[in-house]
Amino acid sequence: MKTNINVLGIETSCDETAAAIVRNGSEVLSDVVSSQIEIHQKYGGVVPEIASRAHIEKIYPIVEQVIQQSGLDKGDIDAVAVANQPGLTVALIVGLTAAKTLALVLEKPLIAINHIHAHLQSAMMDEKNLHLPAIALVVSGGHTSLYECKNILELKLLGSTIDDAAGEAFDKVASILNLPYPGGPSIEKAAKDGNPKAVNFPRTMLAKDSLDFSFSGLKTAVLYHCCGQDMKGQNRVEKMSQKEIADIAASFQAAVIDVLVRKTELAADKIGAETILLGGGVAANSLLRSELEKMAKQTGRKLLVAPKKYCTDNAVMVASLGYYKYKAGLFADMTLEAKAGCED
Ligand code: KG4
Ligand code: ZN
């Protein structure tokens, strides 16, 4: 096998158009992310059709840009990895079509990447001394799941949300509080001036040993707190002081993080994991990072989490995981489909 393997990664699962070239799984040669946040902001969330059109406009210029930035010739690319699931089908299909075309033209293998696994890869990619099995927590806009990570390519699902994902709860609560989309960073910013004990929001743990999550009760509790149980106070939020908004944001954030940390510890105990992996957009949250770090230290474990810029959607994580699939000879063919759900 060649000494250097250069994988081109493509990511278009939601509202970021991204491409990157990563050498040998960890050396980032180039990395471009074009966010559509401004386009979707006025709708308060991602509009799939608009996302798809924006990906079509951006994907080829971005691929050209990453090839140029990497200093490589097109022929130096050894494989094309693409996130084909889970996500918005109309968005995924754009990256997938671009990846298939590139693989055909360059005569290089196509590699299918699960976006959720890729989020975890961004936590592992710089670690030279990886102790597995690990407990892996993925917290994004669409998923909140705990996995046992047996090796880089093998994840076993242990639990997931039965209703809203953690990121989705952040986004919805931000919308209740009239804070801008995306809600996670807005809530985190507002919470900085708030008291996390101001409101005692519920911590839903489900059955005693359950590793599943539920955040819809918490979201409803915030809604009732703001608008009243009869929903007659819908204009009340507009009249709230900044301090009151900050207190609600901080109390909500504390409740989500409390549940995430407690369930992760429970899962780590169950499988005797020495390592905890954290990935996905919500992993950019400073309080979640510090509370998990605290728990990891107290229980003698090591927490691995990606730098903040690789927590939200990017193509470095796709190209990095692509390298390991390349080494294992796990290639896809031209029948590869985009899938909304997480099928494998
Ligand atoms: O992984 P990601 O970029 O896209 C999906 O795969 O869903 O995650 C996006 C989610 C959004 O719900 C966003 O509000 C949340 O991650 N998020 C955060 C923070 N930054 C992004 N949530 C809490 N705190 C943050 N700092
Ligand atoms: Zn994501």
Residue pair 76/42 in contact by the 8 Å Cβ criterion: no
Mean pLDDT in residue range 50-59:
96
What whole-number distance in Å separates Cα of residue 62 and Cα of residue 17? 8
Instruction: Name all domains of the chain by residue range, CATH numbers in brackets.
Output: 6-120+311-327 (3.30.420.40), 132-305 (3.30.420.40)
Best residue among 143, 282, 292 to mutate for probing ligand 1, ranked by most atoms within 8 Å of CB: 282
Confidence band (pLDDT; 50, 70, 90) for 299?
A: very high
- Assess whether the C-beta atom of 280 lies below 6 angstroms from ligand 1: yes
- Assess whether the C-beta atom of 87 lies below 6 angstroms from ligand 1: no
Query: Which residue's CA is the closest to the ligand 1 atom numbered 13?
Result: 184
Query: Which residue's CA is the closest to the ligand 1 atom numbered 19?
Result: 184
Predicted local distance difference test score (pLDDT) of residue 2: 83
Tell me which residues have their CB within 5 A of the ion that is ligand 2. Answer: 140, 313
| Torsion sign (Cα): 220, 221, 222, 223 | positive
Mean pLDDT in residue range 36-55:
91
Confidence band (pLDDT; 50, 70, 90) for 183?
A: very high
State the distance from the centre of ligand 1 to the C-alpha of 170, rounded, in angstroms: 8
What whole-number distance in Å separates Cα of residue 127 and Cα of residue 40? 35
Predicted local distance difference test score (pLDDT) of residue 235: 78
Quick: pLDDT tens for 254-285: 999 999 999 999 999 999 999 999 999 999 99
First to last CA, the chain: 28
Provide φ and ψ at 157, rounded to 5°.
-70, 125
Predicted local distance difference test score (pLDDT) of residue 344: 58
Quick: pLDDT tens for 302-330: 999 999 999 999 999 999 999 999 999 99
% of the chain surpassing 90 pLDDT: 93
Ligand of minimum distance to the alpha carbon of 51: 1
Ligand of minimum distance to the alpha carbon of 139: 1
Residue pair 98/60 in contact by the 8 Å Cβ criterion: yes
pLDDT over 90 at 165, yes or no: yes
